[in-house]
Amino acid sequence: MIIVLKPGLARRQEASILGEIRKRGYRPHVMRGVARTVIGAIGDELTHQSLETLAMVFPDLVESVIPVQKRYKFVSREAHPENSTVPVRQHFIGGKKFHVMAGPCSVESADQLLRTAEAVKAAGATVLRGGAFKPRTSPYEFQGLGEKGLKLLARARRETGLAVITELLSENHAELVAEHADIIQIGARNAQNFQLLIAAAKTGKPILLKRGLAMKIEEWLLAGEYVLANGNCNLMFCERGIRTFETYTRNTLDLSAVPIVKNESHCPVVIDPSQGAGRADLVKALCKGAVAMGADALLIEVHPNPVEAWSDGAQQVSLPVFAQLMKELRPLIAAVGRD
């Protein structure tokens, strides 16, 4: 930790700060600069008590306190310099092969789900997405088919061989969801619901962690740290748009998250352009950007009849649009050296 002192302190005042630093187990190291005196507090920031309170408790003496260590450990690329790959049935996400996860926002019926599953498989997707438990902004909106939806997903898997990803909303459903899904999705609204993250991690299933609407990259990585620190190393990060002032799109998809998370972490990065924009007409361009920037997979909402969708129809693409999109992605996937 670096402690910047206010200018013009008496030696006695400086000594009292040095005492506070020592009391917390750090060894202080004083540097007198031209305009400011700076103290380096030597000790492990992850195991010692933080010194950040000093600036507030001694506002007349301390100008600022700056941590120098990163706060995440297991998700960090320092801890695991190679890219990690997440095994999902016969696939590995994060390796040379680029993956597409696709399917409806909500599971609505056997017919809707199976038609979609077959179509997305034919177009080249390897994972089927579909919401059985749906977090909805209003209590009056469709909340998902629940267990019945999970069973339909499992049936679609049996019939198509696609792996299945679905969202977990409640600690109490962790076992149930893990029983039917190959990947457990933690949604943006629950990205800092740490109890849910721990429950999901403990199922042992691969976890796809969406970024919260107002989450800094560091906070997102630390939420992922909850998964790894609870013994589950099969974690993927999924960018799905952050909240900004722009109103043309529902959210602003932060594609720079791809190279940043790749820099900081070894975990695979997935892009969800459907939630990111909230507009089907932008999905194609966003997918292309994601591929070019180095994402490992896409998560795309596809519906056989978007206008009739029970939720989020505005952002779901139709089956022919999806097939066309997959075709247009191929040259880009090749251009970045992926399969």
Which of the residues 185 through 204 are near a second copy (CB under 8 A)? Answer: 189-190, 192-196
The two tokens of residue 266 are 């070894």
Binding to a second copy by residue 331, rule CB under 8 A? yes
- Of residues 21-50, which lie at the interface with a second copy (CB under 8 A)? 29, 31-36, 38, 40, 42-46, 50
Q: If phi over 0 gives left and psi between -120 and 50 gives alpha, with beta otherwise, what is residue 146?
A: left
Binding to a second copy by residue 324, rule CB under 8 A? no
Contacts 24+ apart (CB under 8 A), 175-182: 175/203, 176/147, 176/150, 177/132, 177/133, 177/150, 177/203, 178/203, 178/204, 178/205, 179/150, 180/150, 180/151, 180/153, 180/154, 181/150, 181/153, 181/205, 182/88, 182/89, 182/127, 182/157, 182/206
Binding to a second copy by residue 231, rule CB under 8 A? no
Determine which residue in the list 125, 258, 299, 325 makes contact with a second copy, applying CB under 8 A.
258
Binding to a second copy by residue 315, rule CB under 8 A? yes
Residue 320's contacts (CB-CB under 8 Å, 6 or more residues apart) are: none
Pairing of strands 2-5, 37-42: antiparallel
- Which of residues 162 and 199 has its CB atom nearest to a second copy in the complex? 199
- Which of residues 90 and 337 has its CB atom nearest to a second copy in the complex? 337
For a second copy, what does the binding mask look like between residues 54 and 73, x meaning CB under 8 A?
Answer: xxxxxx---xx-x-xx-xxx
Binding to a second copy by residue 79, rule CB under 8 A? no
Nearest Cα residue to 156 out of 184, 188, 132 = 132
Binding to a second copy by residue 338, rule CB under 8 A? no
Determine which residue in the list 18, 20, 98, 265 makes contact with a second copy, applying CB under 8 A.
20
- Which of residues 156 and 280 has its CB atom nearest to a second copy in the complex? 280
- Of residues 93-132, which lie at the interface with a second copy (CB under 8 A)? none
Determine which residue in the list 9, 13, 52, 110 makes contact with a second copy, applying CB under 8 A.
52
Tell me the C-alpha distance between 144 and 150, whole Å. 10
Query: Which ranges constitute the DSSP H helices of the chain?
Result: 11-23, 54-57, 110-123, 147-160, 174-180, 194-202, 217-229, 257-264, 273-277, 280-293, 319-335
Least distance between a second copy and beta carbon 158 (Å): 29
Binding to a second copy by residue 179, rule CB under 8 A? no
Number of residues that bind a second copy (CB under 8 A): 110
- Of residues 132-161, which lie at the interface with a second copy (CB under 8 A)? 135-140
Least distance between a second copy and beta carbon 92 (Å): 22
Binding to a second copy by residue 292, rule CB under 8 A? yes
